[in-house]
Amino acid sequence: MITEIFRLAEGQEDEKIQRAAEIIRAGGLVAFPTETVYGLGADALREEAAAKIYAAKGRPSDNPLIAHIADRSALYELAASVPDWAERLADAFWPGPLTLVYPKKAIVPDGTTGGLKTVAVRMPSHETARKLIRAAGVPIAAPSANTSGRPSPTTARHVLEDMDGKVDCILDGGDVGIGLESTIIDATGPIPVILRPGYISVEMVREIVGEAETDRAVEHPLGQGETPKAPGMKYRHYAPRARLVIVTGGEEAVMERINGLTTEYEAAGTPCGVICTEETKAGYRCGNKKVIGSRKRQESIAHNLYAVLRQFDKEDTKVIFSESFDGGQLGQAIMNRLKKAAGYHIIRA
Ligand code: TXA
Ligand code: MG
């Protein structure tokens, strides 16, 4: 298959989106930008279309897909029941980086939900995504448009790196905004349970609903035989090729510890990388330093995380040491991805 790239140049967006929508209607695969990461879309109501997504990503078929909608009315065609508190969350955060999991209606094929009796639904805010869904006239099932296990794509170039020859077209809408996948909330129980943290933090959810919990799988590696509620959380995700180690502690102590480690490794001939910030970059003596963003603008760290991990994959780095980025609205989401990428390898400075 030849992958076509549709650049969304001004004035031609609508025509390109129409062509992409035809591909979706014909059962094909379209990668498209959203405000979180690029998605790999297909008709959510056709089992064979969803099967193509799993094949292109090399994704285990028990890992369900999110159905993307453009209008609230579409929710009630997919979800069998919607608690009042979930309506309030949708009122507050849709369109936007929030996914809600509901009991599913029969119209949603098992192939889209990985055999689960629930369906995850999100209404993205990105204009291109919204126009594509409307033009296709069906909900669009879309995981992140990366090969399974690689960092999610935040540019069309990242999508092409993983999906060239595997998808019909890529709608190139430039860089995404947020850079981390949506917050996923289980809406099948009495209170919201965060299955995956994202831009919408647990505090923001509590402000709307009063109470909310975070699923254990968000913060901890799972023990043998434990199953997370979001099947995707059990896989080692976002993994760079190099071994990634997170160093926690006070700023000075972290720098000193990383300097000690990189000096030791490089002396032994092992090329090292360092993930640091604008504020700390001058403090590192050796290793391949990459600035992930500024601590004064936490959203820059979220935005650049996957691009930095992908960049390391292209270089001959064997071990990467990263500062940690807890706290603030995005701390839980950033650290969730970073810890998974590190296989929970964390040392205290
Ligand atoms: O921001 C996002 O959510 C992006 C963009 C493209 O919208 N999509 C995305 O999809 O991150 P994906 O497939 O990479 O991650 C979806 C996660 C997986 O961990 C999956 O297990 C979980 O959502 N999920 C999907 N359906 C579910 C369900 N019915 N119950 C529990 N978890 C579900
Ligand atoms: Mg993904």
**Tokens of residue 11, six digits:** 């004035």
CA of 112 to the centre of ligand 1 (A): 11
Helix (H/G/I), strand (E/B), else coil: 103? strand
Q: Does ligand 1 come within 6 angstroms of the Cβ of 140?
A: no
Pairing mode, if any, of strands 169-172 and 30-32?
A: parallel
Given this model, what pLDDT does residue 226 score? 78
| pLDDT tier for residue 235 given thresholds of 50, 70 and 90 | low
Given this model, what pLDDT does residue 158 score? 97
Q: Report pLDDT digits (tens) over 42-87.
A: 999 999 999 999 999 999 888 999 999 999 999 999 999 999 999 9
Given this model, what pLDDT does residue 10 score? 79
Mean pLDDT of the chain, nearest integer: 95
Q: Edge-to-edge strand order for the sheet containing 4-7?
A: 4-7, 169-172, 30-32, 39-43, 140-141, 66-68, 118-122, 98-103, 183-186, 193-196, 213-214
Q: Report pLDDT digits (tens) over 188-209.
A: 999 999 999 999 999 999 999 9
Residue to mutate, 62, 68, 81, 99, ligand 1, most ligand atoms under 8 Å from C-beta: 99
Within 13 Å of residue 293, how many CA atoms lie on the same side as its CB? 18
Average pLDDT over residues 267-279: 97
Question: How many CB atoms are closer than 10 A to CB 338?
Answer: 23
| pLDDT tier for residue 230 given thresholds of 50, 70 and 90 | confident
Average pLDDT over residues 36-40: 98
Which value, in Å, is the radius of gyration of the alpha carbons in the chain? 20
Average pLDDT over residues 109-131: 97
Q: Whose CA is nearest to atom 3 of ligand 1?
A: 182
Phi/psi of residue 277, each to 5°? -125, 170
Average pLDDT over residues 300-313: 97
Average pLDDT over residues 275-284: 97
Question: How many CB atoms are closer than 10 A to CB 190?
Answer: 8
- Residue by residue, DSSP assigns 12-37 as -HHHHHHHHHHHHHTT--EEE--SSS
Given this model, what pLDDT does residue 240 score? 85
CA of 283 to the centre of ligand 1 (A): 38
By the CB criterion, residues less than 5 angstroms from ion ligand 2 are: 144
Given this model, what pLDDT does residue 130 score? 98
Given this model, what pLDDT does residue 123 score? 98
| pLDDT tier for residue 228 given thresholds of 50, 70 and 90 | confident
Q: Does ligand 1 come within 6 angstroms of the Cβ of 153?
A: no
pLDDT of residue 166 exceeding 80, the answer is yes
Q: Does ligand 1 come within 6 angstroms of the Cβ of 74?
A: no
Average pLDDT over residues 228-234: 77
Helix (H/G/I), strand (E/B), else coil: 38? coil
Percent of the chain with pLDDT over 70: 99
Higher-pLDDT residue of 21, 220 = 21
| pLDDT tier for residue 236 given thresholds of 50, 70 and 90 | low
For 181-224, what is the HEC assignment? CCEEEECCCCCCEEEECCCCCHHHHHHHHCCCEECHHHCCCCCC
**Tokens of residue 280, six digits:** 């700390």
Give the integer Cα–Cα distance in Å for 334 and 198. Answer: 8
Q: Of ligand 1's atoms, which has the minimum distance to the CA of residue 36? A: 1
**Tokens of residue 236, six digits:** 């080692």
